[in-house]
Amino acid sequence: MKNICFYFQIHQPDRLRVYRFFDIGKDSHYYDDFVNRTILRRIAQKCYLPMNKVVLDAIKATDGKFKVAYSITGSALEQFERYAPEVIDSFRELAETGSVEFLCETCNHSLSSLRSENEFAHQVRRHKATIEKYFGVTPTTFRNTELIYSDSIGKTVYGLGFKTILTEGARHILGWKSPNYLYSNDIQASQKLLLRNYALSDDIAFRFGSGATTAESFVAKVNAEEGDIVNLFMDYETFGEHQSAETGIFDFMRALPEKALASGIRFVTPAEASKKLKAVAPLSVPHPISWADEERDVTAWLGNELQQDAFNKLYSLVEKLSIIDNADLWADFGRLQESDHFYYMCTKFFSDGDVHKYFNPYDTPYEAFINYMNVLSDFIIRVNDEYATKN
């Protein structure tokens, strides 16, 4: 029997306000609250609320046979609570169906797995507690920020109690292998890997607006795939935001569950897939991969000197912050770790340029860098001042 595993990523960053050099040392409010509220409310109305209803209706119509998984960052949940609490209520209604799995990740959608194992573990534990708080469930499956994964990251995640992890079915890692099977971590054999089928995922996430994809044609593509499971991983904002309602994206998702089930396809959550399927082979991933861009690596966030400079300066503060242990500083540190800030500094233009421009509030990556570094300069002053009082 063929299986489909749907996983949706939900994240909203804390966008920074225009923070000038002359604000450094004088004003420590870094965030554009108006823009964050405006964008969050818009996406809630266009995507989160209508799509949650589509999913809920599909679960009820299929007697719970339609199943999906969500990873909702702590950053997004904080903004939901502040600006759109009805979104949290709609996710709680989904949680009560028993057909939805909530995954664990870094609380602030950070790149900490690439730099600080302690901070990474801290953020994972925070996110686990956050999901328990909002939805009353304990996540057992992990997905890292932007599906970033390597053998060593997987081993660290296993040590934190997660035996199943999601990542990208990157062609340069798979070679001749198919992403449509369950694999295992090359250095931690007990950990299961679910790999994104990027071709079929992108048919929905990026190519749907072309009009070539219908529920019937998509089900036929899934059935034509080799393997046990087709993992469809994408941003939830695909529905209604990236692909507008006018494209028919909601109608597609209304029709897909019954069409798929009628053809013999079964829907599973990541945890169910890990239990029901056997790993066919270990998968060696010595260097970090992600689901971003054609390269499927981490260069979208750390591919140039601007990004690396900002990243290194930020994480150089971990030891001092641990000694200080100030709740306000920890909160700002978490928000400043959000991967989006580094993504805005990306200088990759060519084949992936339009993607980076779409999500970028800055006119140039250099503006993003300057604004971020002004904020970081003020944050460093606050950390150093607090540190001095402790010693």
Model pLDDT for residues 221-235, shown as the tens digit of each residue: 999 999 999 999 999
Using alpha carbons, select from 229, 157, 144, 167 the residue that is nearest to residue 188. 157
Give CA 382 to chain center in angstroms.
30
Q: Which two tokens stand for residue 59?
A: 């679960």
Catalytic site residues?
Answer: 146
Whole-model pTM: value is 0.94
Complete DSSP assignment for 222-243: HHHS-SSEEEEEEEGGGBTTTB
Integer-rounded Cα Rg, in Å, for the chain is 21
Q: Which two tokens stand for residue 232?
A: 């469809």
Q: Which two tokens stand for residue 95?
A: 């949680």
What is the model's pLDDT at position 357?
57
Q: Which two tokens stand for residue 47?
A: 């995507």
Distance, CA of 295 to CA of 286 (rounded, Å) = 15
Instruction: Note the helical H segments in the chain.
Output: 33-43, 49-61, 74-83, 85-95, 117-135, 151-159, 171-174, 198-205, 215-224, 249-262, 270-276, 299-302, 305-315, 318-324, 327-336, 339-343, 353-358, 365-390
Is beta strand 229-235 parallel, antiparallel or unpaired with respect to 3-10? Answer: parallel
Residue 248 three-state SS:
coil
Using alpha carbons, select from 194, 186, 78, 98 the residue that is nearest to residue 142. 194
What is the model's pLDDT at position 294?
83
What is the model's pLDDT at position 68?
98
Give every CB contact of residue 391 below 8 A, 6+ residues apart in sequence.
Answer: none
What is the model's pLDDT at position 391?
74
**In the chain, which residues have pLDDT < 50?**
350-353, 356
Give CA 279 to chain center in angstroms.
24
Burial readout 141-167 (b: 16 or more C-beta within 10 A, e: otherwise): bbbbbbbbbbbbbbebbbeeebbbbbb
Distance, CA of 323 to CA of 330 (rounded, Å) = 11
Sign of the CA dihedral with 198 first, then 201, 202, and 203 last: positive
Question: Which class for 211: exposed (0-12), middle (13-18), buried (19 or more C-beta within 10 A)?
Answer: exposed
- 273 and 194 Cβ atoms separated by less than 8 Å: yes
CA distances to 46, 232, 234 from 9, rounded to whole Å, are 16, 11, 6
Burial readout 220-242 (b: 16 or more C-beta within 10 A, e: otherwise): eebeebebbbbbbbbbbbbbbbb
First to last CA, the chain: 64
What's the one-letter identity of residue 198?
Y
Angle made by CA atoms 305, 311, 317, in degrees to the nearest 5: 140
